[in-house]
Amino acid sequence: MKKTILIIWVFCHLVVSAQEETATQGRQINIVYGANFTKDEAQFPGASIFSKDDERQVQFEHQGADLWCDIAIFYTQENRLKAIGNIRLQQGDSIEMNSGKMDYDGNTKLAKAWENVDLTNGQMTLTTDTLYFDREKQESYYRSGGKVVDSANVLTSRVGTYFMTPKKYQFRDSVHIDNPDYIIDSEQLDYYTTSKNAYMYGPSTITGEEYKIYCERGFYDTKIEQGYGIKNTKINYDNKIIEGDSLYFDKASEFASAVNNIKITDTINNGVIKAHYAEVHKSKDSVFATKRAVSISLVEKDSLYMHGDTLMVTGKPEERILRAFRNAKFYKTDLSGKCDSIHFDQKTGVTQLITEPILWNVENQITGDSIHLISDLETEKLDSLKVIENAFIISLDTIGNEGYNQAKGKNLFGKFIENELKIIDLVQNTEVIYYVYNDDDELVGIDKTICSKIRLLMANNDIEDITFFINPDGDIFPETELPVESRKLKGFVWRGDERIRSKDEIFDEDDNNIELVKIRGLDNPIDIDAEEQERQENENDPVNNLQRSKALKPKKIAVKKVPTQQ
């Protein structure tokens, strides 16, 4: 029994030894051409020294790679060599590395090259002073600065790694891409040499001829100047600064879009648009915004907030036209209103409230078929007000707190002085009901008059004086002599509960309950190698490529056309 166990043990030992010897032989560096041979035990103990002859260089082969050099110091037992002079390492048909000196370990398959190092795969060339080539992992890397040149770009960084299987570079520390059309600077950037696609991490800036993009996580197709950012992204584009959780940019279609927490700043007009979805069309000089969209502009040191289900800004600088469609509202400290649509023309200074408009000037409620606010083009202050057809102004009697001061006519014309409504003229078929008090705030009576024209002079946003023109007919009635049902003009509708009293009230419940789009890849990092492979497969597939090109085109947006009123 013991003899049997011993025989089995010896057999297993011989098998393992044979396997180890075979594996060792498989890892051994082989001499293809030794040329001149010598030894120098004093300087290189245990090494064989080979040097080129007049015909050819020294050549070695190791597991699918060939190495040529002028001088080789080969440690056979340790399975490593030192190469000196005009070194060329060739792996397959694609990878070639050249240098002045190199250490190569056959056991780990790790090469360290220095002195005028360059590596090429047929599509790009890497140059650096020191390069490590790990043939086991099929990676090469440098730690002291390198430059990569391909057909599209020149890339430099302090630290870099080249992954040969996906043909990808991972650049770190002072990454810089130089292209005739743009420049990219980044803290970390992954670059695929086949597709020329770049994935950025950390503070990164792309500067083109007509745009500048900043992000801390993003993608960029360097061939066509198209990409996106999904962390702290900002685009300077078409005199606008676009910020948002996720931003997309395409130079060819002159298009940019943004999703979630968007802010678009007009750098020329100092206006701001905020929303959760927006598009910028450079060729059309237009901005489209929706999902809690609001325009913010400065009017005499006071912010004017304008909201609609959809906002559109069109036109060149100094000639912008702003439209708010469906459920339009606006607010500033002393002025607010709502209607179906708002149309603002910067060139004329006219803001039109269209379809069932209502305006609140502090405590005064103003309605009509359409309302126009006109700004002074030089000072940009509010200049005047027009209410076209069925003009009606109402304010609560703030002393008695029961009745309402009212005036109506066919049209209304108002004049602002220092952004305060001071003069109101009502013309054609005008009527007034007004509560008259003495200096002690005692009710004198209720003035009820009709005439052809009425002028109201305002002070502290309240009626200070009334003037009747052309055949006024009316009187001041004691309160007991004017029935309650006669104290309201025909068409009276008090809508005080609808008044917008803050910038937050321009949004309704649907605006405040919008569910934001989940940005892919930020909280749950994605496998960019897999994404890149999928991207390349789609680009090479004619059907997918057609679908992709259609998806990248800006969508046609259905916009309700509202005729401009003069």
Nearest to 272 by CA among 249, 285, 260, 289: 289
Task: Please report the pLDDT score of residue 162 as a whole number.
Answer: 93
CB 188 within 8 A of CB 200: yes
Residue 241 belongs to domain with CATH number: 2.60.450.10
Task: Please report the pLDDT score of residue 370 as a whole number.
Answer: 94
Q: How many contiguous H segments (helices) and E segments (strands) does the chain have?
A: 4, 42
Give the tens place of pLDDT for each residue, 524-542: 556 677 777 777 777 666 4
Q: Which helix or strand (DSSP H or E) is residue 279 part of?
A: strand 271-281
Residue 20 pLDDT grade (very low, low, confident, very high; cuts 50, 70, 90) = very low
Is position 10 within any domain? no
Kindly tell me if the per-residue pLDDT of 9 is higher than 50: no
Task: Please report the pLDDT score of residue 523 as a whole number.
Answer: 62
Q: Answer yes or no: do 483 and 364 share one domain.
A: yes
| CB environment 259-283: b (16+ within 10 A), e (fewer) | bbebbbbbeebebbbbbbbbbbbbe
Is position 4 within any domain? no
Kindly tell me if the per-residue pLDDT of 551 is higher than 50: no
Last residue of a domain, one of 488, 508, 540: 488
Q: Answer yes or no: do 394 and 331 share one domain.
A: no
Give the tens place of pLDDT for each residue, 279-326: 999 888 899 999 999 999 877 677 899 999 999 999 888 788 999 999
Q: Answer yes or no: do 362 and 481 share one domain.
A: yes
Q: Answer yes or no: do 278 and 255 share one domain.
A: yes
- Count structural domains, the chain: 2
Is position 509 within any domain? yes
**Average confidence score pLDDT of the chain:** 86
Residue 114 dihedral angles phi and psi, to the nearest 5° = -150, 170
Task: Please report the pLDDT score of residue 193 as a whole number.
Answer: 87
Kindly tell me if the per-residue pLDDT of 200 is higher than 70: yes
What's the rounded Cα separation, in Å, for the pair 122 and 383?
A: 69
Give the tens place of pLDDT for each residue, 37-89: 999 999 999 999 999 999 899 999 999 999 999 999 999 999 999 999 999 99
Task: Please report the pLDDT score of residue 319 as a whole number.
Answer: 85
What's the rounded Cα separation, in Å, for the pair 171 and 157?
A: 6
Nearest to 285 by CA among 329, 245, 254: 254
Give the tens place of pLDDT for each residue, 411-425: 999 999 887 889 999
Is position 41 within any domain? no
Task: Please report the pLDDT score of residue 522 as a whole number.
Answer: 60
Task: Please report the pLDDT score of residue 536 as a whole number.
Answer: 72
| 470 or 28, greater pLDDT | 28
Mean pLDDT of 93-114: 94
Task: Please report the pLDDT score of residue 524 as a whole number.
Answer: 57
What's the rounded Cα separation, in Å, for the pair 486 and 464?
A: 23
Last residue of a domain, one of 468, 488, 508: 488
Q: Which helix or strand (DSSP H or E) is residue 145 part of?
A: none
Q: Answer yes or no: do 350 and 368 share one domain.
A: no
Cα–chain center distance at 399: 53
Q: Answer yes or no: do 276 and 292 share one domain.
A: yes
Task: Please report the pLDDT score of residue 525 as a whole number.
Answer: 57
Is position 249 within any domain? yes
Q: Could you tell me how many residues make up the chain?
A: 566
Q: Answer yes or no: do 361 and 465 share one domain.
A: yes
Q: Is the dihedral of CA 376, 377, 378, 382 positive or negative?
A: positive
Q: Answer yes or no: do 347 and 362 share one domain.
A: no
Last residue of a domain, one of 472, 488, 504: 488
Is position 211 within any domain? no
Task: Please report the pLDDT score of residue 287 as a whole number.
Answer: 92
Q: Which helix or strand (DSSP H or E) is residue 489 part of?
A: none
Residue 449 belongs to domain with CATH number: 2.60.450
Contacts of 425 (CB under 8 A, 6+ apart): 412, 413, 414, 453, 454, 455, 456
The domain containing residue 263 runs over which residues? 232-355+496-519
Is position 162 within any domain? no
Give the tens place of pLDDT for each residue, 133-192: 999 999 999 999 999 998 889 999 999 999 988 889 999 999 999 999 999 999 999 999
Structure token pair of residue 28: 């051994």
Is position 250 within any domain? yes
Q: Answer yes or no: do 301 and 342 share one domain.
A: yes
Residue 394 pLDDT grade (very low, low, confident, very high; cuts 50, 70, 90) = very high
Q: Answer yes or no: do 384 and 504 share one domain.
A: no
Q: Answer yes or no: do 260 and 378 share one domain.
A: no
Kindly tell me if the per-residue pLDDT of 6 is higher than 60: no
Structure token pair of residue 110: 């790790």
Task: Please report the pLDDT score of residue 540 as a whole number.
Answer: 63
Q: Answer yes or no: do 342 and 379 share one domain.
A: no
